Amino acid sequence: MRQLEDMLEYHSRKYYIDNAPEISDFEFDTLLRELQDLEAQHPDEVNPNSPTKRVGSDITNSFKSVEHRYPMLSLANTYSSEELGEWIDRITKEIGEVEFVAELKFDGTAISLTYENGALSRAVTRGDGRRGDDVTDNVRTIATIPLRLMGEGYPSLFEIRGEIYMPYASFDKLNTEREAQGEPLLANPRNAAAGTLKQQSSQVVARRGLACTLYHIAGDNLPSDTHYGNLMAAREWGFPVSSHIKVCRTRKEIEEFIAYWDTERKSLPYATDGIVIKVNDYAYQRTLGTTAKAPRWAVAYKFQAERALTRLLSVDFQVGRTGAITPVANLDPVQLAGTVVKRASIHNAQQIAALDIRLGDMVYVEKGGEIIPKITEVELSERPAESKPFEYITHCPECGAELVRYEGEAKHYCPNTAECKPQIIGRISHFVSRKAMDIEGLGGETIELLWENGLLRDISDIYSLDPIQLAALPRLGDKSAANIMEGIRRSKEVTFERVLFALGIRFVGETTAKYLAGHFLSLDAIASATTEELAEAEEVGSKIAVAITEYFAQEHNRNIIERLRSAGLRFEAAAKSLASEALKGKNVVISGKFVGRSRDDMKAMVEAHGGKCLAAVSANVDFIVAGENMGPAKLQKAEKLGITILDEERFMVLINNNTDGADDTPAESAPHQEASATPIQGRLF
């Protein structure tokens, strides 16, 4: 079994990494089947990193949240040669002439891989930068990622980070299969890669043809003191490191590299959206340090969005869960950024009028950062003589209700929230989504199926579903029905703030729902609050307050709420046990970057000791906890209002001593005192 593992790993590298296969696919499959047979006979001897794991499993995964050993920071972006030059000038002014490394910026989803004693032990997504999802089982199926390392000289424990992406060929194949099965097409390779990596079945992941490139090592006892040197070592260990990397010593060399790939990237078999430039030497990286979000020793130069000229054939109108109407253009198919584009967003009636878009026009389409490409310009020189101004629809294309346009809103809306099918299905899809009620098994197609069979008319109907009725439906059966019912049962344990978010009230996102739940503590209190009282809660302005009031004013929504209450959903915030009342009644602002703690950690400590976190500096603030790089505007306003500013150390003393708050803070703590934070080491990025 060990010999077969070694042979299969060797031939995988020759095929996927070196592009120099030495045996046929048939011979490789024969070796793999032999190993699978042996593993079936000797299950106690199966290696968790066996090449057979590449095939995946149909066992449902449950992704565990894992804290990153080193934070996964973002990169600062620049979009012009002038901005890039300013960044280079700042670097050279601070530390003198340095070497840079220029690399392609892959358009995929970030991943961090941990290797222990040469074997893959864990794979974690970026998440929020501090914590990500453990997707190890899924990552083991990606053929370009080594399960065991070759050669020597690698540390006993280290992380290597990079990008998991979907090559154009895999993306096109997947969409062809989905089209044949009548499933909605995926928007682009980046989203397809991210969605695939979070599939519950690693067997599905294995079939979708993901690939990976790795571009940064984090850990101790690395073989080189330079970024480039460590990447070359990683390549020797069997990692898929891009060959399109260059050490540059001048700005001119960097600009030549960018100019070359701005053109040549169109011939690559995968998506790229820019060039990343990094200081090569680790000692200089440590000197430059990081900001709260990004290293100062690296920057991403983003390519200008590609655009193509094609003809506008017609316009469809889509209805979202909030009733918002979105016009979508149907185009003559055109090649753009590696994919064939047939549809593009026009956003709203204002944009159509501003660009004077008309049916039959030749239009320029860009992808940029959009999921759906957008029309950016009309080629007026090719406009047909008989063209007429576009007439925007006045009634909902789904239910026929007359559209309305709210004050201050660019979009038109269908007001028929209780009976318009796409609104209802959209609200149900939002309700069951992972960040809301997290009910597995109720995907878009299943919700549509239940609607068509009269089993779902609003979100409260979910809790009246019958497993026998579910099992009798096409494509479901007993197992799927049981999974759905178990997901529904577990959803009754979801916290109040997520229930509030799941209701789908206009403008009430995750963050707003959290603040509303913390401020009012129950759904009844929110429902009975006046618009003025709602607007007093943090992150809730007059616009959101009006939307909440309108939601609870509708009898249809109140009836749904009562049915959800009867089903046992949580409509009250759980009582929190405080670590102390040191900050009881105190309003606190957290600002800047802290040593070993995120701002979210600091906010959690404030709340744990009875305090309340505010986002903005105002006369209501009792004190500010300031880390490194506190915003100058906040500092200026705090000094003007005479607000006490504590550094991290004094804040920790305050809560650990269980004092009554900041009233006893010595006067010398204001004005602002610099926190004794030290920058994260460059090699930890």
Task: Name the residues annotated as catalytic.
Answer: 105
DSSP states of 528-593 = H--HHHHHTSTT--HHHHHHHHHHHH-HHHHHHHHHHHHHT---BPPPPPPS-STTTT-EEEEESB
Closest CA to 679 of 627, 611, 636: 627
User: Which residue is listed with tokens 């046929």?
Assistant: 24
Closest CA to 589 of 679, 651, 517: 651
Among 247, 251, 250, 230, residue whose Cα is nearest residue 239: 230
Query: What are the distances in angstroms from CA 114 to CA 216, 408, 637, 659?
Result: 12, 49, 44, 43
Q: Give the whole-angstrom CA distance, residue 63 versus residue 56.
A: 16
> Which residues have CB under 8 Å from 577's CB, separation 6+?
none
Q: How far is CA 625 from CA 71, 519, 610, 664, in A?
A: 22, 22, 15, 15
Integer Cα distance of 219 and 634 in angstroms:
36
Buried b (16+ CB within 10 A) or exposed e, 531-552: eebbbebbbbeeebbbbbbebb
Maximum Cα–Cα distance across the chain: 80
Q: Phi/psi at 14 (nearest 5 deg)?
A: -60, -35
Q: Please state the φ and ψ torsions of residue 329, each to the nearest 5 degrees.
A: -85, 140
Closest of 166, 290, 306 to residue 629, by C-alpha: 290
| C-alpha dist (Å) from residue 542 to 445, 539, 557 | 37, 10, 21
Question: What phi and psi values does residue 517 have, to the nearest 5 degrees?
Answer: -65, -40
Q: What is the β-pairing status of strands 119-125 and 109-116?
A: antiparallel
267 token code pair: 């011939």
The CA distance from 488 to 551, in Å, is: 24
Q: For residue 619, give Cα distances in angstroms to 116, 193, 457, 589, 616.
A: 53, 47, 48, 12, 10
Asked if 611 and 584 count as a contact pair (C-beta separation under 8 A), the reply is yes
Mention every residue, 6+ apart, whose C-beta is less than 8 A from residue 684.
70, 71, 218
Partnered with residue 514 across adjacent β-strands are: none
